[in-house]
Amino acid sequence: MIRGLYTAASGLKTSANNIDVVGNNITNSSTFGFKKDGVVNGSFDQYMTYKIGNDPIEDIGGMTYGVTLEDVYTQYEQGAFKQTGNALDFAIEGNGFFTVQTADGQKKLTRNGQFFLDQNGYLTDAAGNMVLDNAGPIKVGNCDISVSQTGEIFADGESVGQLLITCPADLSTLVKQEGTLFSYNGGQTTAFQGIIRQGVLESSNVDITDEMTELMAYSRSYQSCSQIIKMIDQITEKAVNEIARL
Is the pTM here over 0.85, yes or no? Answer: no
Q: Which amino acid is it at 12? A: L
3-state secondary structure the chain: CHHHHHHHHHHHHHHHHHHHHHHHHHHCCCCCCCCCEEEEEEECCCEEEEECCCCCCEEEEEECCCEEEEEEEECCCCCCEEECCCCCEEEEECCCEEEEECCCCCEEEECCCECEECCCCEEECCCCCEEEECCEECECCCCCEEECCCCEEEECCEEEEECCEECECCHHHCEECCCCEEECCCCCECCCCCEEEECEEECCCCCHHHHHHHHHHHHHHHHHHHHHHHHHHHHHHHHHHHHHHC
Nearest to 39 by CA among 225, 217, 228: 217
Question: pLDDT at position 245, please?
Answer: 60
**Residue 154 pLDDT more than 80?**
yes
The average confidence (pLDDT) of the chain is 86
- Report how far residue 21's alpha carbon sits from residue 26's, in angstroms, rounded to the nearest whole number: 9
Question: pLDDT at position 138, please?
Answer: 95
Question: pLDDT at position 94, please?
Answer: 95
Q: How many residues does the chain have?
A: 246
Query: Is the pLDDT higher at 246 or at 199?
Result: 199
pLDDT tens-digit readout, 162-217: 999 999 999 989 999 988 999 988 788 999 999 999 999 999 999 999 999 999 99
pLDDT tens-digit readout, 36-85: 999 887 765 555 454 555 555 555 555 556 677 778 899 999 999 999 99
